[in-house]
Amino acid sequence: MSSSSTLEQASDEASKLNVQKGDHFQGAATPDFTDMIHLQDLPAEYVPEIGKHRKEGRLVIVGDVHGMRDSLQKLLHKLKFNKHHDHLVLAGDMISKGPDSPGVVDLAMKYGATGVRGNHEDRVLGAYAAMTAEHLEMPSVPDPDEKADKTQDELEELSYSHGDYKDRALVRALGKERMEWLKKCPVILRVGDCGSMGKVVVVHAGLAPGVTLEKQDATMVMNMRTIGKDGVPSDGREGVHWQEVWNKYQDKLPKKQKTTVVYGHDSKRGLQLEKHSMGIDTGCLKGGRLTAVVIEGAHSDYKHSIVSVGCPDGRHS
Ligand SMILES: [Mn+2]
C-alpha cells in the first residue's frame, strides 16, 4: 500500500470520527467511542532482531489473563522476563471475572506492556465512556453505599436497570489511570514481519480473511469464533471456526503476504496452533493454564515457542 493511500484512509477515518463527534455534540446520549484505537504498529524497537549481530530480546504474547495477576507474575518469572530487552503483549481480556484486574493492569504498566482490546476491555471501556459522559465521580474504590442494604434481588434488578452494573463497579475498582491505559490498547496490534512466520498480528478473537486490517469490523475482531458460508464472521460457536478459513486463505497467498494471527478468546477450544494462527487462551481463569507465545530472533530467521504455567481456579475468588 502506498503512503498516500494510507494517508487517504487515515483522513477518511478522521472524517468518519468527526461525524460521530458531531452527533455527540448535538446532544446524543450515546457514549463517545471515538478514541478507540483500531490499528497500531508495535514500535520497531520491540520487534526482535535476527542475524549474527542481533540484540537480545524476545516478544512475549500472553493470552486471556482475566484478572489472574499471580499467574501472570508466575509466567513472567518462569520466562525470566526482563523488561529491559523483552517486550510483553497482552492479547485482550486482561481484566474481568478473576480476582485482581487492577493488579494485572498494574503489572502491565510496570513492565511497559502493550495491551490489545478484548471484548471485556471493550465492555468496561464502554461503561467508562458512559460514566465520563454523565460526569460521574470516579472514586478509586467501589462506593460501599452502592451495595449497602441491598438484597441480591435488588442488586440484580439494579443490574438489569443499569445494564452494566458490574462493568461500572469494575471501572470504579480500576480507577482513572488504569482506565486511561486500557483505552490506549488497540483492537489490532501489527507486530510486523517475522521471517517464516510472515507478518505477525495480535488480536483478541480473530480476523476475517481477505479484508485489510484497516477495514476489519472491530466488534468482530474482539468477538468472532466462526465464519458463515457467506464469509461473514460471527461470535457464535456453530459453523466453521474462523481460523480454518484464515489458514486456507493464507496458504493461497504469495509468501510475502502471509500473516500469522496470535489470538485468545476461545478457552473452550484451548491451545490452537496452526500454520498461520495461534490461539492461546488456555483457560487460566478456570484453573487451566496461562500461555505465552515467545518470539525471538535467530541467525537467519525467527523462532517461536509456547510457554505456560498452571493456574488456580479464579472464578469464585
Ligand atoms: Mn474474550
C-alpha 54 – ligand 1 centre gap (Å): 35
Q: How confident is the model at residue 149 (pLDDT cuts 50, 70, 90)?
A: very low
Q: What is the pLDDT of residue 134?
A: 79
Instruction: Single out the residue of 95, 98, 117 nearest to residue 106, CA to CA.
Output: 95
C-alpha 269 – ligand 1 centre gap (Å): 12
In the chain, % of residues over pLDDT 70: 80
C-alpha 205 – ligand 1 centre gap (Å): 7
- Measured at the CA of 150, the angle between CA 175 and CA 133, to 5 degrees, comes to 35
Q: How high is the mean pLDDT of the chain? A: 85
Q: How confident is the model at residue 5 (pLDDT cuts 50, 70, 90)?
A: very low
Q: Which residues contact 196 (CB under 8 A, 6 or more apart)?
A: 301, 302
C-alpha 267 – ligand 1 centre gap (Å): 9
C-alpha 74 – ligand 1 centre gap (Å): 22
Q: What is the pLDDT of residue 17?
A: 36
Q: How far is CA 232 from the centre of its chain?
A: 21
Q: How confident is the model at residue 230 (pLDDT cuts 50, 70, 90)?
A: confident
For 81, the grid coordinates are 522476563
d(C-alpha 19, C-alpha 21), whole Å: 5
Q: How far is CA 69 from the centre of its chain?
A: 16
Domain ranges of the chain: 30-49+57-310
In the chain, % of residues over pLDDT 90: 74
Contact present, 179 and 171 (Cβ < 8 Å) = yes
C-alpha 94 – ligand 1 centre gap (Å): 9
Mean pLDDT computed over 112-116: 98
| Beta pairing partners, 39 | 188
Contact present, 89 and 59 (Cβ < 8 Å) = yes
d(C-alpha 93, C-alpha 66), whole Å: 6
C-alpha 155 – ligand 1 centre gap (Å): 25
Q: What is the pLDDT of residue 152?
A: 43
C-alpha 87 – ligand 1 centre gap (Å): 22
Contact present, 88 and 62 (Cβ < 8 Å) = yes
Residue with grid cell 462493568, as numbered in its chain: 167
For residue 257, the SS3 value is helix
C-alpha 311 – ligand 1 centre gap (Å): 18
Q: What is the pLDDT of residues 239-265, one digit of tens each?
A: 899 999 999 999 999 999 999 999 999
Give the pairing of strands 226-227 and 233-234: antiparallel
Q: How confident is the model at residue 133 (pLDDT cuts 50, 70, 90)?
A: confident
Q: How confident is the model at residue 229 (pLDDT cuts 50, 70, 90)?
A: confident
C-alpha 316 – ligand 1 centre gap (Å): 18
C-alpha 23 – ligand 1 centre gap (Å): 30
Q: What is the pLDDT of residues 20-58, one digit of tens each?
A: 333 333 333 444 455 899 999 999 999 999 999 999 999
Torsion sign across C-alpha atoms 224, 227, 233, 237: negative
d(C-alpha 109, C-alpha 101), whole Å: 13
Q: What is the pLDDT of residues 164-223, one digit of tens each?
A: 889 999 999 999 999 999 999 999 999 999 999 999 999 999 999 999 999 999 999 999
Sheet containing 87-90, strands listed edge to edge, beginning at the edge strand earlier in sequence:
114-115, 87-90, 58-62, 289-297, 302-310
Give the fold, CATH level 3, of 30-49+57-310. Purple Acid Phosphatase; chain A, domain 2 (3.60.21)
Q: What is the pLDDT of residue 136?
A: 58
C-alpha 4 – ligand 1 centre gap (Å): 35
From residue 130, how far is each of 13, 117, 125, 127 by CA, in Å?
A: 23, 18, 9, 5
| Beta pairing partners, 70 | none
C-alpha 93 – ligand 1 centre gap (Å): 5
Q: How confident is the model at residue 14 (pLDDT cuts 50, 70, 90)?
A: very low
User: Which residues have CB atoms below 5 A from the ion given as ligand 1?
Assistant: 93, 118-119, 265
Instruction: Single out the residue of 306, 304, 287, 236 nearest to residue 98, CA to CA.
Output: 287
For 122, the grid coordinates are 471493550
Q: Supply the DSSP string of 6-35, one letter for each residue.
A: HHHHHHHHHHHHHHHHHHHHTT--S---TT
Q: How far is CA 244 from the centre of its chain?
A: 21
- Measured at the CA of 70, the angle between CA 45 and CA 294, to 5 degrees, comes to 35
Q: What is the pLDDT of residue 127?
A: 93
C-alpha 22 – ligand 1 centre gap (Å): 31
C-alpha 53 – ligand 1 centre gap (Å): 39
Q: What is the pLDDT of residue 11?
A: 41
C-alpha 226 – ligand 1 centre gap (Å): 14
Q: What is the pLDDT of residues 46-56, one digit of tens each?
A: 999 999 999 99
C-alpha 147 – ligand 1 centre gap (Å): 27
Mean pLDDT computed over 265-275: 96
Q: What is the pLDDT of residue 138?
A: 57
96 CB burial (10 A radius; 0-12, 13-18, 19+):
buried
C-alpha 222 – ligand 1 centre gap (Å): 7
Query: What is the Cα Rg of the chain in Å?
Result: 20
Least confident of 22-36, 83-97, 259-273: 22-36
Q: What's the pTM?
A: 0.83
C-alpha 1 – ligand 1 centre gap (Å): 31
